[in-house]
Structure 1
Amino acid sequence: MNEQISADQINAAGHLMIGGCDAVDLAAQYGTPLVVYDVSQIRQQIRAFQRVFAKNQVDYTVSYASKAFAAVAMYQVVNQEGAHIDVVSGGEMYTALKAGFPLAHASFHGNNKSYDELVMAVKNHIGVVVVDNFHEIDLLNRVLEELDANVQVMLRITPGISAHTNKYIQTGQVDSKFGFDLESGQADQALEKVQASPRMTMIGLHAHIGSQIFEVAGFEGVANKLVAVADHWQKQFGYRARVINVGGGFGIRYVKDDQPLRPEEFVDAIIKAIKKAVAGTNLGQPAIWIEPGRSIAGPAGYNLYTVGSRKDLPGLKSYVTVDGGMGDNIRPALYQAQYETVLASDPQAPLKEHVRLAGKYCESGDILSQDQALPATKPGDILATLDTGAYGYAMASNYNRNPRPAVVFAENGHSQVVIKRESYDDLVHLDRPYEGK
């Protein structure tokens, strides 16, 4: 039995349901590989975050970290739910604008924002620029002067807290490419530089300690650290922070052994930690911002594949190959991420074997799972990999000149393509013939 699939996700035919749609039918209608999102699950998680803030009676912003999955349709859903977004590139900003998303409800992150990106942000009235380094302060000042504009900013702090997570997705430790260091005095110097600018309004401070975090202690630690910094800034510089932004990184369940708290439980602990820390200061209660990405998009996403070839070797685990792989989900190859996969036509079928679930790409490392328990399968069967909504399509590539899959949103029994499947023509439309001699 797969514990991640509830009884109401299985229809009368015994098939997996996604957003009220039969997964087998979705694969037949749209082809595979296919990325499918259960839109109601996205909405429910955003609302769960909002409820925990309302219950604790604090001013707040839930800002979807769109690097997890950015698309016009995703921004539309987030906007419908009254949430904000954070963007980390001109491309994400442009997509949000195409979606009609109000950039006044957007924060702009990044450790090397370009001149053109900052111009785009300021011209489109970005809500907040999260300033990451001294070069950026100077560059943003230049842009603001040229455009005769003003902007709200936060300073990103490196809090010196290492989350218990994969080393490639830790961002809060001192030795990080992100943010202003506290111990060396960089953060204080940055505050003074921003306060000296008549075109920047400093609204608060930000930190992000990593991703896929299961323990609440790190978040409580960063909450306490940010309040301590805000208290120091008020006493030393007369600056009162209106916002404390603790970032995101709330872990989700990918496989049976993962036992994270519900994402909103992390937030409840953060709120209580900030309230307690603030009570011992003269700061007053600041607004609390969070930036969840994975916890909103991840559990809502499914990758559907069609089984193809099989390789059996005496004494070794068999390879079962599907028509996707590292091109649509590079996380297993990149940092050994694990997922669970089920048979879409019978997700609770008795498990018969443990196999390597292999992709079709020309790399030995293109293995979606090194040890996947499956029922008996045959070519043409549809497999569904669970919880793929974050950093799957967002990191997809055209490696081996394979087209990226379509993305479908499913809600209340209705399905719709929100990103078209790439064609071979799409793969070459930027190519130009060489005319050299």
Structure 2
Amino acid sequence: MKKPFVTLEQLQEIVKQYPTPFHLYDEKGIRENARALKAAFAWNPGYKEFFAVKATPNPQILKILKEEGCGVDCSSLCELMMSDRCGFQGGEIMFSSNDTPAEEFALAAQLGATINLDDITHIDFLKDTIGYIPKKISCRFNPGGTFQLGESKEGFQVMDNPGEAKYGMTREQIAQAFKRLKEMGAEEFGIHAFLASNTLSNDYYPALAKILFQLAVDLKNETGAHITFINLSGGVGIPYRPEQPANDIAVIGEGVRRAYEEVLVPAGMDDVSICTELGRFMLAPYGHLVTKVLHQKHIYKEYIGVDACASNLMRPAIYGAYHHITVMGKEDAPCDHKYDVTGSLCENSDKFAIDRMLPEINIGDLLVIHDTGAHGHAMGYQYNGRLRSAEVLLCEDGSTRLIRRAETPEDYFATAIWD
């Protein structure tokens, strides 16, 4: 059973200061997880995690990760600006975007970020935009087809369809890209790929690594490019459901090490640095959406109405994602009531849970919606004039700190033209 990282007594004190709904983050958990990831890849001297800013774009969270030795992966102008303002510099920033406007390439180059090109046509676009090709550059690879891992020891199959994804270059294109970039002055090359999302298998990263390591060896032989880093991107998942197994990052790191020694070391490429670009794995379990029960409705189904809505967490509404719910103070009570837990938007998809078995819920109860630390607040919006909530940090010493205030009606109206 999933357990909140906060107690009812703590929450009762917190909500006196910060009205619900709000996203609450666990500083202790974030730091411990970042250290475990770093330890798992400590065998690689150049290893660095480039946190996917899109997952949790909060300056105070980014600063915590910076203190733990992480870099940032950005995919837009504002993410680059935020990272710069948080003190990330040069090689601490990876810029991986697609369908990229010229101004974003220009800022990435100005900040000294490592640019990861999504398409072969972006070579000339980048050159025309900034006037040169950086000495260090990366290209994104898409192997096409279907990526599949058989039944893992955890009992879950990993499958995705890179051939349906809009990202990356074909095998032929990435070889052409390396040759052209080398001719245009590039001296250090990187390879990036993303093949599957939210995998619950310790085998995924090692399998991806082996594909990219072999590609690196082949590209070195074909193009003469000096490949200095390989970015395994994201895809290492978290168990949203209580019955799912968690990934073991130490086992994953060891699996990547074995692939490294099997493929890269014999090819004389033992100077290659490993990069990761994790968002969900880094932050999701360390965020809760805290909401209060406002109403009960008894019609054809039993509905629990809360003060949060899909504006605060849209994943369940847009693709039926599961997020576990704890009724605070009733953690040990039997789950013998079936509810739909709903928000206030004028959309029938605005439901955090459908036919969920939970303890009996009363008006005024506090609910914790789990695993919202990534792709939670970040995906918020203002439909129906519902405003985005505050973000609060539960500090290591047990105190709390507001790290983003809730939006106000004045924020909502600020961009409107009234005359």
What runs of 5+ residues in structure 1 fail to find an aligned partner?
A: 17-21
- Give distance in 2, aligned partners of 1:413 and 1:279: 46
2:309 aligned residue:
325
The match for 2:361 is 377
What is aligned with 2:36? 48
AA in 2 matched with 1:321: G
2:247 aligned residue: 261
User: Helix, strand or coil: the match of 2:340?
Assistant: strand
Q: 2:329 matched to 1:341? A: no
**Per-residue CA shift, 1:184-222, capped at 9, x if unaligned?**
x11111111211212x44332111113211124443332
TM-score by length of 2: 0.92
1:177 aligns with 2:170: no
Residue 107 (structure 1) aligns with: 94
Match of 1:234, SS state, is helix
User: 173, 176, 186: which one pairs with 1:189?
Assistant: 176
Partner of 1:425: 410
Show CA shifts across 1:381-416 (max 9, x none). 111111111101110001101110000011121111
- Whether 1:235 and 2:233 are equivalent positions in the alignment is no
- Does 1:416 find its partner at 2:401? yes
Which residue, 68, 71, 79 being the options, matches 2:58?
71
How far did 1:37 drift?
Answer: 0.2
Distance apart, 1:371 and its partner CA: 3.0
**Secondary structure of the structure 2 residue equivalent to 1:228:** helix
Q: Distance in 2 between matches of 1:333 and 1:25?
A: 30
Cα deviation for residue 300 of structure 1 reads: 0.4
Contact 1:24 1:344 in 2 (8 A): no
Contact 1:27 1:304 survives alignment (8 Å):
no
Please tell me the residue identity of whatever aligns with 2:193.
A
Contact 1:46 1:81 in 2 (8 A): yes
Q: Which moved more, 1:89-98 or 1:282-291?
A: 282-291
Cα distance in 1 for partners of 2:164, 2:368 equals 39
Number of paired residues? 409
SS at match of 2:269: coil
**Corresponding position of 1:245:** 231
**Distance in 2 of aligned mates of 1:23 and 1:233:** 54
d(CA) in 2 for partners of 1:178, 1:153: 17
Give, in whole Å, the separation in 1 of the partners of 2:282 and 2:82. Answer: 19
TM-score by length of 1: 0.88
Which amino acid letter does the alignment assign opposite residue 28 of structure 2?
A: S
Structure 1 residues 57 and 358, CA, compared in 2 at 3 Å: closer, same or farther? same
Once the two structures are superposed, what CA deviation does each residue of 1:351-407 show, in whole Å capped at 9, x if it has no partner?
331211111111011111113232222222111111111101110001101110000
236 and 150 in structure 1: CA distance in 2 versus 1, 3 angstrom threshold: closer
Give distance in 1, aligned partners of 2:14 and 2:264: 51
Change (3 A) 1:374 1:212: same
For the 8 Å contact 2:55–2:280, the answer to whether it is kept is yes
**2:170 is aligned with what amino acid?**
D
The reply to whether residue 26 of structure 1 matches residue 44 of structure 2 is: no
Computed over aligned residues only, the root mean square deviation of the Cα atoms, in angstroms, reads: 2.1
Secondary structure, counterpart of 1:380 in structure 2: coil
Percent sequence identity over aligned pairs: 24
Q: Which amino acid aligns with 1:395?
A: M
Deviation at 1:285, TM superposition (A): 4.5
Contact 2:197 2:235 (8 Å CA) reproduced: yes
User: Could you say what secondary structure the match of 2:256 adopts?
Assistant: helix
SS at structure 1 position matched to 2:241: coil
Q: Contact 1:349–1:375 (CA<8 Å) still a contact in 2?
A: yes
Distance 1:120 1:285 in 2: 29
Paired with 1:162 and 1:371, the residues of 2 have a C-alpha distance of: 33
2-structure distance, mates of 1:352, 1:250: 34
Specify the SS of the correspondent of 2:267: coil
Q: Contact 2:202–2:248 at 8 Å: present in 1 too?
A: no
